[in-house]
Amino acid sequence: MTKPERSPDSSRMLSSAQMQAFQAMMLCRNMTEAADRLGISEAAVSKLKAALEQELGVQLFTRVSGKLVPTQEAKTLLPYVQRAVNSIHAAKSAAAALRQTSFSRLNIVCAGPAVFHPVPAAIKRISESFPDAQMQLDIDSLRGVLEKVAYNIADVGIGPAGGREVDPRVVGMCDVEVLSRDALVVVLPKGHRLARASIVRPEDLAGETLVSLDSTSTTAEMISSVLFQSGVPFRRTVTAANGVGVCALVASGVGVGFLNPNFFHSAVEWNVVKRPFSPRIELRTCIYRSKLSKSTPVMDRFVEELKRALPEIEQ
């Protein structure tokens, strides 16, 4: 039996095209059928066959009456090549599935009142525009939001602007875009003496118990600064972990509080009254996206829907 002249080079890898051509030739009667099966020219099949024989250092086929006849070496190699080709097809299928999942998956992480609005409105519209999209909403602290976005655990984060409680190195790993600038409102129990006031000022709150968020939060820092500068005396301060706690304590008559107005855009009836406050205490809500990840259509559309939902806050 005649063998190719070049000795095999064990350091070189067989290409997927060579292996698929070999498999097709083993299944077909001649080069023409193999070419049709692969969707390439007969000359291309012949070239792949020759290259494969050169790489392996053995003759794989002979021609008998115009037909391809596999050698014993080819028959020995066939099961190994079949397994390799099957693995290649499986890898391609897995990659396609990953691409599809990547484009249709959206992991959102949120901190603060944006979880009440505009995030739900944006998710609702995305579910209508991308019916096959897989969406997940996580609630976390601002630090958790930034870390999950920075390290690609979440695709998009929404939360307050970073303050002293966050690591500037982690913030530096995120693209930050201001979504909204909201004026905090005073939250009062129903029937409170200021419930009908057109606007509430610091001096109006003298002697009240202040229901505040944790002192490490950006919101609490801004409120404390404004009230300290006004010199208004408070009876005491009661701390709540989040806006739900503030509303629960205020509704029970414990005191008065301050919250972002987005907090009240939900189906929940908080049984409190909210009034404008002067001077304006502005809280920025930001969109966070990792600098290390590529954008997808569903991610871009979600950000668009967040911005689109903002005018509804004023309604």
CATH number at residue 109: 3.40.190.10
Question: Is 4 part of any domain?
Answer: no
Rounded to whole angstroms, the Cα distance separating 70 from 49 reads 12
Domain-embedded: residue 28: yes
Domain boundary residue, one of 102, 117, 139: 102
Domain tally, the chain: 3
* Confidence category of residue 267, pLDDT binned at 50, 70, 90: low
Residues 135, 168 within the same domain: yes
One domain for residues 228 and 214: yes
How many CB atoms neighbour CB 72 within 10 A? Answer: 9
The C-alpha atoms of residue 139 and residue 145 are separated, in whole angstroms, by 8
3-state DSSP assignment of residue 20: helix
> Are 42 and 127 in a shared domain?
no
Q: Determine, yes or no, domain membership for 93.
A: yes
Residue 2 maps to a domain: no
Classify strands 61-64 and 282-290 as parallel, antiparallel or unpaired: unpaired
Alpha-carbon gap, residue 204 to 30, rounded angstroms: 95
Q: Which of 137-146, 198-207, 226-235, 241-250 has the lowest mean pLDDT?
A: 226-235
CATH number at residue 92: 1.10.10.10
pLDDT at 313: 43
Do 198 and 264 share a structural domain? yes
Q: Is the pLDDT of residue 115 over 50?
A: yes
Residue 171 and residue 290 in one domain: yes
Does residue 1 have a pLDDT over 50?
no
164 and 310 inside one domain: yes
Q: Within a 10 A sphere around the Cβ of 219, how many other Cβ atoms?
A: 22
* Overall average pLDDT of the 175-203 stretch: 94
- Same domain? 275 vs 300: no
CA distance 169 to 278: 35
Phi, psi of 278 (to 5 degrees): -135, 135
**Distance (Å) of CA 71 to CA 47, 49, 53:** 18, 13, 12
DSSP 23-68: HHHHHSSSHHHHHHHHTS-HHHHHHHHHHHHHHHTS--EEEETTEE
Quick check: is 10 in a domain?
no
Residues 33, 72, single domain; the answer is yes
Closest listed residue to residue 212, CA positions, set 239, 189, 245, 185:
239
pTM of the predicted structure, to 2 decimals: 0.63
**pLDDT tens string 98-110:** 555 555 789 999 9
- Parent domain of 172: 104-181+284-314
- Both 78 and 90 in one domain: the answer is yes
Same domain, yes or no, for 289 and 176?
yes
One domain, residues 127 and 73: no
Residue 168 within a domain: yes
Residue with tokens 């397994």: 83
pLDDT at 194: 95
